[in-house]
Amino acid sequence: MQLVLGNYIKNQQMSLRLAKANGIINWFNNHSIALHLLYAEQHCTADQARALIRPCITWWTSHIMAIGQLIQLEIPYKTIVVRSQRELETAAGTKCDAIAKAQQILAIIQNQGFWDDMS
């Protein structure tokens, strides 16, 4: 099973999709303001917030779990992008490259095609 999953992940299109997903997960995990906004939004709609899972390169199942969590958080992600876009853009700082990276992550979140591909 792990070998089949490993070959699937190595597929170029799937690899690009996973890179985008990992980019979102890592960016939110590395910026406490953004992560706080995500958790606060989850607490508004549910009793308990879901954690972001970082996949481990040698543990193939972690990729499935990380993508599963990401898909379940689609609505909270989209909601905070709409409600708090300016806060998210400056969550990493006010330097141009940090804002550009934040805008890139937010664009991925707003792209419905990304979420359809993940499903």
- Print pLDDT tens along the chain (119 aa): 444 455 555 666 777 888 899 999 999 999 999 989 998 888 777 667 777 878 777 677 787 888 888 999 999 999 999 999 999 988 888 889 989 999 999 999 999 999 998 88
pLDDT, tens digit, 9 for 90 and up, residues 61-94: 787 888 888 999 999 999 999 999 999 988 888 8
DSSP 3-state percent helix, strand, coil across the chain (nearest 5): 75, 0, 20
DSSP letter for each residue of 37-93: HHHHHHHHHSSSPPPP-PPBTTBHHHHHHHHHHHHHTHHHHHHHHHHSHHHHHTTT-
**In the block, residue with structure tokens 């481990």:** 56
